[in-house]
Amino acid sequence: MDEKFMRRAIELAKQAETFDEVPIGAVIVLNGEIVAEGNNRKERDNSAISHAEIVALKNANEKLGWYLSDCEMYVTLEPCAMCAGALINSRLKAVYFGAYDQKAGCCGTLYDLPTDKRFNHRLHVEGGILKDECAALLSEYFRKKRKKDSDIQGEK
C-alpha cells in the first residue's frame, strides 16, 4: 500500500467535484505505476454505472485487457456492490479505499463481497487509507450541496 496513489485518487475526486459530481476518484496501479484513472461521472454521462471504479476499470481494460490480476486499485470511497463485483470480475489483486461507506459499502461495512469465499476470486481489501481526508471531501461536498439546495428552496 502506498499513500501516494491515494493522494492521486483524491486529486481525481476533486476534479470530479468541479463538474458537480460526487467527489470520488480511483487509480489502478501495476508494478508501482499508475496505469489507469477515473473519477465519478454519473452526472456527465447521465449513467448510474459511471462510478469512479468502473471508469478506471474501463480505462485499464483498454490498455491491459479485462484480466487485471497483477493490479491494485486505490479509491477514495469504499466500493458499492456493483463496483465490488466489477473488482472481483476483473480479478484485481487488491483494493485500498479511503472513507468507509455506511450506506452502500460492500468491502467490509455492509457486506464484504471481495473476500466472500463463495466467489471464484477474492482480493485483498484494506480500508481507511487517508480516511479523514477522503471523508472530509464528501462531507464538505454534501454540506455545500444541501446549502445550495436550501438557498434555492428559499428563493421560491
Catalytic residue of the set 17, 53, 72, 78: 53
CA-closest candidate to residue 110, choices 73, 154, 80, 130: 80
Contacts (Cβ under 8 Å, ≥6 apart) of 86: 53, 54, 57
> From its phi and psi, is residue 93 left (phi > 0), alpha (psi between -120 and 50) or beta?
alpha
Q: Is 53 a catalytic residue?
A: yes
Cα–Cα distance, 89 to 4 (Å, whole number): 26
**How far, in Å, CA of 110 to CA of 135, rounded?**
17
Of 59, 102, 104, 103, nearest in space to 79 by CA = 104
Q: What is the dihedral of CA 81, 57, 42, 13, to 10 degrees?
A: 100
Q: Indicate which residues carry an active-site annotation.
A: 53
